Amino acid sequence: MSENCVNIVADIGGTNLRIGIANQDGSTKSLTVYQCADYAGLAEVVSDFIEKEQLTNKTISACFAIACPVENDLVVMTNLPWQFSKTELKKVLGLEKFLLINDFTAIAHAIPMLGNEQKVQIGSGDPVDGKPISVCGPGTGLGVANLVNHNGRWVSLSGEGGHVDFAPVDEQEIAIFKHLLGKYSHVSYEQLLSGLGIEQIYQALAELHDVSKNVLSAKDITSRALAKECDVCEKTLTQFCRVLGSFAGNLALTLGSFGGVYIAGGIVPRFIEYFKESDFRTRFEEKGRLSGFNQNIPTYVITESQPGILGATAYLLQHNKEAL
């Protein structure tokens, strides 16, 4: 790669945009965080970065991870009043190459690059090189992606797995399901495995145990549970970990994820030690006659603070290599 060529990568969320220069070894430099609300659109942010980093006369290849659908040329952000044409944006910014990927596609591509200091294993099992990998991320919603190796090339299989039907497995979960069915015509796993999901589990359990329902945020529920200040909050966090274990186990069964199942998102890393001792791994393995299948599959929590940037870098470097 000549000195006149440069790779830039970005992770675009509803609140913050992180952008930096990707090095050939997979690291990044000049990582800058922008507040999206301060700018009229994506072009203004990237133009500012290019100018400040004195990249105007460089040949630029770019890969951006973004939290919205990316299939069409017109991209409309879900949680931000930005929209843009991919074709027009490439032209306006003067990019040689422009790749736009979903944020969970980026997170999936980050996984093969993670070192031991960027993840925490939950339970037993050893990953098998080159075998499929699954990732799910409880946060604002429930993101899901899978990664498969095809002739030495990692390919992300994205979708809307967080919206599959919630399947209760015991009496308490049936009660939670009935509570949610009173609010929604369709109860998906995202209705339990998200920030809103924690709040909804709490409301359902407060109703089930006939105690007054305080208006608590997911953060408040979690902190009270960890401090053992509220019995219903403790039951809520316990239930959240159990449901996440069942859901992650379903992903493992569906894809045969012997490369590992990874938990991303902003929720679980806040209580790693609690999560290790929870019923997550037990429920991950409890699959009836197929329990032995999942027992051999490792599970991890991603602790890397910038998986979107790491994944966008991996995706761009792989694409550049294939183009040679």
Is 221 known to sit in a ligand binding site?
Answer: no
Strands (E) across 159-307 are located at 261-263, 299-302
Q: What is the CATH number of domain 115-303?
A: 3.40.367.20
- Superfamily classification of domain 5-102+306-323: ATPase, nucleotide binding domain (3.30.420.40)
Is 59 known to sit in a ligand binding site?
Answer: no
68 contacts 78 by C-beta, under 8 angstroms:
yes
Structure tokens at 102: 């979903």
Is 12 known to sit in a ligand binding site?
Answer: yes
Is 323 known to sit in a ligand binding site?
Answer: no
Burial class from Cβ neighbours inside 10 Å (0-12, 13-18, 19+) for residue 46 reads buried
Is 210 known to sit in a ligand binding site?
Answer: no
How does pLDDT run along the chain (324 residues), one tens digit per residue? 567 899 999 999 888 999 999 999 999 999 999 999 999 999 999 999 999 999 999 999 999 999 888 999 999 987 789 999 999 999 999 999 999 999 899 999 999 999 999 999 999 999 999 999 999 999 888 999 999 999 888 999 978 899 999 999 999 999 999 999 999 999 999 999 999 999 999 999 999 988 877 789 999 999 999 999 999 999 999 999 999 999 999 999 999 999 999 999 989 999 999 999 999 999 999 999 999 999 999 999 999 989 999 999 999 999 988 765
Is 222 known to sit in a ligand binding site?
Answer: no
- The separation between the first and the last C-alpha atoms of the chain, rounded to the nearest angstrom, is 11
Residues of the chain with CATH 3.40.367.20: 115-303
Residues of the chain with CATH 3.30.420.40: 5-102+306-323
Phi, psi of 246 (to 5 degrees): -65, -45
